[in-house]
Amino acid sequence: MKNFKYYAAQGEAFFRRVDARPTDLEEIKPVNGVVIVAHSETGHHHVMDASGVTLMERTKDVPEGLRILHMIVKEPTVLEHKRGHDAHEPIKFDAGEYEVRLQREYTPEGYRRVAD
């Protein structure tokens, strides 16, 4: 399991610890007791236990093809990639606030979210 101090990444999700919370946030509701931090095209999502985390999404001034999330981690919680094989290593998050950027890439059709 990985630990980190300021920055981390898992698949297309990039995390950084932040001190300030934006005001333009909408809460993302948990699904079956977990918050889905990053969706996988194959259904093997990147998830955290909802009891320890509140996940929100920025709703204004977000560049095309990019999702910016904000996590409030209330107690140490692990981010897991729900895949039985070739999964990304779990990452432990300490209590605090984090910005999550779901990375994008350029294609001739325009920007799109990076596929994991």
Least Cα distance to 101 among 78, 67, 56 occurs for 67
- Does the model's pTM come out above 0.75? yes
What confidence score (pLDDT) does residue 18 get? 96
pLDDT at position 107 is 67
Taking the chain (116 residues) in runs of 10, the rounded mean pLDDT of each run is: 84 90 93 87 80 93 83 94 72 95 71 56
**Strand intervals (E) in the chain:** 2-3, 7-10, 13-18, 25-28, 34-38, 46-49, 53-58, 67-73, 77-81, 91-93, 96-102, 104-107, 110-113
pLDDT score for 86: 61
Give the residue among 26, 6, 111 at the shortest CA–CA distance from 68.
26
pLDDT reported for residue 77: 94
